[in-house]
């Protein structure tokens, strides 16, 4: 397809600005810090304009007392709620209009018109917020109702005014649509708009969390606002190394993480061996049976695996009963409570869960090997082991190599599920891996929670992981001439 050079005119440039503003308006709806509906200290500060609009219950959570005492009329709260809802609808109309402005001239003009309408709706509804503010100010008990004038209202009104002005200008600058024109849009923009909701979801759930990294620079506790006076610079980064207790913790946790990942890496060939030996079983039905039942544990959650562990290894469990019956021991052993060999035990559980599953990819690779190679080798007098050594293993090595590189890249990410379910007061020192440590430190119920420090550690982990992945990719490119991701 040849690229057409389109001459851009003033309205086009103005539309770019308008679209940026529209994106801001949409984001605005979801940012609690900018909620224009927070006209009273009783409105929860974690609420965004969107939530204030759709959930009356959440908006008025803390107003129950104020309403029963007659400080605030229920009508005011309804007004606050409906105004927020209307504001959201107005902003959504603005966004929709801006999407339509991607179309051809007739649709574009309509889109700008819709945008103007949207600004009017939004502004109209937002004025309701101001009325609510006045009502709060005139309350009989302003001390308890705490009227605050939300800065968000001024910001959004200013933005709406700019959008309104620019839209009107664009509306009149745009050439008149011909009568035979239809409401059309180029395919490329149509497709983009179809994808847009999913891009937005990705942005909100995958990229927006990066904004949370800012708490690393603050003295943060749950519920605090990140204001200037809580700014501590790189305190937490240096704290990580300066504070002896934290340093020891990190050292211990890193040792656990690396040990368990290392054991995983060291035994990663087991899946390949499993596949090779499984394919040596020539009774197809039986092989199928083995394959089916050894892969099932992979689809069981770690909680259930813990249930299995309890069933088999607890004091009244299967193993103890059998051992007692056999007269080997007199009293049940608390296998799960002991802290001995915890790394090996975790490895064993991991193997039990994942071995059959990770072998599947190798089994498929083996069935992909040219049978003539085996036949030729057999004719030349190679036995089973020679064929495995010289044909099967070399054919599997590329796959193994890729998977190995990927697991090296993920060496810090063992996940927390497994260790979380198996941890107890006896083994907590040796079982705590980095992911679990971050959880315990940041969200754990223990009194020593430190969100900022946990975020610092998580952030460093993310950076190291992505670097490792990048290196693994490079390594793969060097060795195999092919990237892995």
Q: Which of 183, 237, 239, 374 binds other proteins (CB under 8 A)?
A: 374
**Comparison of 195 and 344: residue with beta carbon closer to other proteins:** 195
**Comparison of 62 and 280: residue with beta carbon closer to other proteins:** 280
**Comparison of 41 and 410: residue with beta carbon closer to other proteins:** 410
**Comparison of 161 and 210: residue with beta carbon closer to other proteins:** 210
**Comparison of 71 and 152: residue with beta carbon closer to other proteins:** 152
φ and ψ of 231, to 5 deg = -70, 125
For the record, the structure tokens of 176 come out as 């008149």
Residues 6 or more apart from 236 whose CB is under 8 A from it?
216, 217, 452, 453, 456
Indicate whether 51 belongs to the interface with other proteins (CB under 8 A): yes
SS3 string, 385-432, reads HHHHHHHHHHHHHHHHHHHHHHHHHCCCCCCCHHHHHHCCCCCHHHHC
CA distance 355 to 51: 46
φ and ψ of 235, to 5 deg = -55, -45
For the record, the structure tokens of 343 come out as 């790394």
**Comparison of 67 and 382: residue with beta carbon closer to other proteins:** 382
Q: Which of 22, 88, 135, 215 binds other proteins (CB under 8 A)?
A: 215
The helix, strand and coil proportions of the chain, stated in percent and rounded to the nearest 5, come to 70, 0, 25
Indicate whether 485 belongs to the interface with other proteins (CB under 8 A): yes
Using DSSP's 3-state secondary structure scheme, residue 319 falls into: helix
Q: Shortest gap between Cβ of 439 and other proteins (angstroms)?
A: 6
100-159 binders of other proteins (CB under 8 A): none
First to last CA, the chain: 29
444-483 binders of other proteins (CB under 8 A): 451, 454-455, 458-459, 461-462, 465-466, 469, 483
**Comparison of 8 and 69: residue with beta carbon closer to other proteins:** 8
Q: What is the DSSP string of 43-56?
A: S-TT--HHHHHH-H
233-262 binders of other proteins (CB under 8 A): none
**Contact pattern for other proteins over residues 171 through 210, marking x by CB under 8 A:** ----------------xxxxxx-xx--xx-xx-xxxxxxx
For the record, the structure tokens of 335 come out as 């296998």
**Comparison of 252 and 461: residue with beta carbon closer to other proteins:** 461
Using DSSP's 3-state secondary structure scheme, residue 40 falls into: strand
Q: Shortest gap between Cβ of 317 and other proteins (angstroms)?
A: 6
Residue 2 is classified by DSSP as P
Question: Which residue from 276, 236, 2, 50 is spatially nearest to 156, judged by alpha carbons?
Answer: 50
Indicate whether 230 belongs to the interface with other proteins (CB under 8 A): no
Q: Shortest gap between Cβ of 480 and other proteins (angstroms)?
A: 12
CA distance 295 to 291: 6
Burial of residue 421 (CB within 10 Å: 0-12, 13-18, 19+) is middle
**Comparison of 137 and 307: residue with beta carbon closer to other proteins:** 307
Task: Kindly determine how many residues on this chain lie close enough to bind other proteins according to the rule CB under 8 A.
Answer: 106
SS3 string, 149-160, reads CCHHHHHHHHHH
Q: Shortest gap between Cβ of 199 and other proteins (angstroms)?
A: 6
353-372 binders of other proteins (CB under 8 A): 355-357, 360-361, 364
Rounded to the nearest angstrom, the gap between the alpha carbon of residue 225 and the centroid of all alpha carbons in its chain is: 23
Rounded to the nearest angstrom, the gap between the alpha carbon of residue 275 and the centroid of all alpha carbons in its chain is: 34
265-304 binders of other proteins (CB under 8 A): 277-278, 280-284, 286, 289-290, 292-297, 299-304
Q: Shortest gap between Cβ of 461 and other proteins (angstroms)?
A: 7
Q: Which of 240, 250, 421, 426 binds other proteins (CB under 8 A)?
A: 421
Q: Shortest gap between Cβ of 299 and other proteins (angstroms)?
A: 5
Q: Shortest gap between Cβ of 323 and other proteins (angstroms)?
A: 11
CA distance to 70, 260, 276, 461, per residue, from 356 (Å): 67, 20, 12, 30
4-33 binders of other proteins (CB under 8 A): 30-32
Q: Which of 114, 416, 431, 433 binds other proteins (CB under 8 A)?
A: 416
CA distance 212 to 230: 15
Residues 6 or more apart from 466 whose CB is under 8 A from it?
none
Q: Shortest gap between Cβ of 211 and other proteins (angstroms)?
A: 7
Sole window of 12-20, 143-151, 337-345, 376-384 interacting with other proteins (rule: CB under 8 A)? 376-384
Q: Shortest gap between Cβ of 159 and other proteins (angstroms)?
A: 21
Q: Which of 47, 271, 366, 431 binds other proteins (CB under 8 A)?
A: 47
**Contact pattern for other proteins over residues 301 through 340, marking x by CB under 8 A:** xxxx-xxx-xxx--xxxx-xxx--x---------------
Q: Shortest gap between Cβ of 46 and other proteins (angstroms)?
A: 6
Angle between helices 10-30 and 74-100 (to 10 degrees): 150
């Amino acid at each position: 397809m040849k690229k057409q050079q389109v001459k851009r005119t003033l309205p086009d440039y103005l539309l770019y600005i308008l679209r940026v503003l529209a994106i801001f308006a949409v984001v605005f709806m979801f940012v609690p810090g900018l909620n224009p509906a927070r006209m009273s200290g009783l409105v929860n500060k974690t609420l965004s304009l969107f939530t204030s609009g759709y959930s009356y219950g959440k908006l008025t959570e803390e107003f129950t007392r104020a309403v029963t005492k007659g400080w605030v009329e229920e009508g005011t709260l309804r007004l606050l709620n409906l105004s927020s809802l209307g504001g959201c609808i107005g902003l959504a109309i603005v966004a929709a209009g801006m999407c339509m402005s991607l179309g051809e001239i007739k649709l574009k003009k309509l889109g700008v018109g819709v945008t103007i309408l949207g600004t009017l709706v939004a502004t109209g509804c937002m004025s309701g917020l101001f009325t609510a503010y006045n009502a709060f100010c005139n309350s009989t008990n302003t001390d308890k109702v705490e009227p605050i004038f939300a800065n968000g209202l001024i910001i959004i009104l200013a933005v709406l005014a700019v959008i309104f002005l620019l839209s009107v200008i664009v509306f009149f600058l745009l050439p008149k649509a011909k009568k035979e024109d239809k409401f059309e849009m180029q395919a490329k923009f149509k497709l983009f708009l179809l994808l847009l909701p999913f891009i937005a979801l990705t942005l909100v759930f995958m990229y927006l969390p990066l904004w949370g990294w800012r708490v690393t620079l603050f003295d943060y506790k749950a519920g605090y606002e990140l204001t200037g006076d809580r700014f501590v610079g790189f305190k937490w980064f240096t704290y990580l190394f300066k504070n002896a207790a934290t340093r020891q913790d990190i050292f211990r946790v890193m040792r656990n993480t690396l040990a368990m990942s290392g054991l995983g890496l060291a035994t990663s060939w087991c899946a390949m061996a499993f596949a090779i030996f499984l394919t040596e079983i020539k009774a197809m039905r039986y092989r199928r049976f083995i394959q089916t039942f050894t892969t099932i544990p992979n689809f069981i959650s770690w909680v259930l695996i813990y249930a299995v562990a309890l069933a088999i290894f607890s004091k009244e469990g299967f193993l103890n009963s059998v051992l007692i019956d056999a007269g080997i021991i007199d009293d049940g052993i608390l296998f799960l409570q002991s802290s001995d060999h915890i790394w090996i035990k975790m490895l064993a559980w991991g193997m039990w869960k994942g071995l059959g599953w990770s072998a599947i990819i190798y089994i498929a690779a083996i069935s992909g090997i040219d049978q003539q190679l085996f036949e030729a080798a057999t004719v030349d007098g190679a036995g089973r082991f020679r064929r495995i050594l010289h044909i099967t293993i070399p054919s599997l090595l590329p796959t193994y190599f890729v998977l190995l590189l990927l697991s090296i890249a993920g060496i810090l990410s063992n996940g927390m599920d497994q260790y979380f379910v198996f941890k107890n007061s006896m083994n907590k020192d040796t079982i705590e891996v980095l992911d679990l440590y971050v959880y315990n430190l940041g969200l754990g119920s223990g009194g020593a929670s430190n969100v900022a420090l946990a975020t610092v550690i998580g952030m460093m982990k993310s950076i190291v992981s992505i670097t490792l992945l990048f290196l693994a990719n490079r390594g793969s490119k060097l060795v195999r001439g092919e990237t892995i991701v």
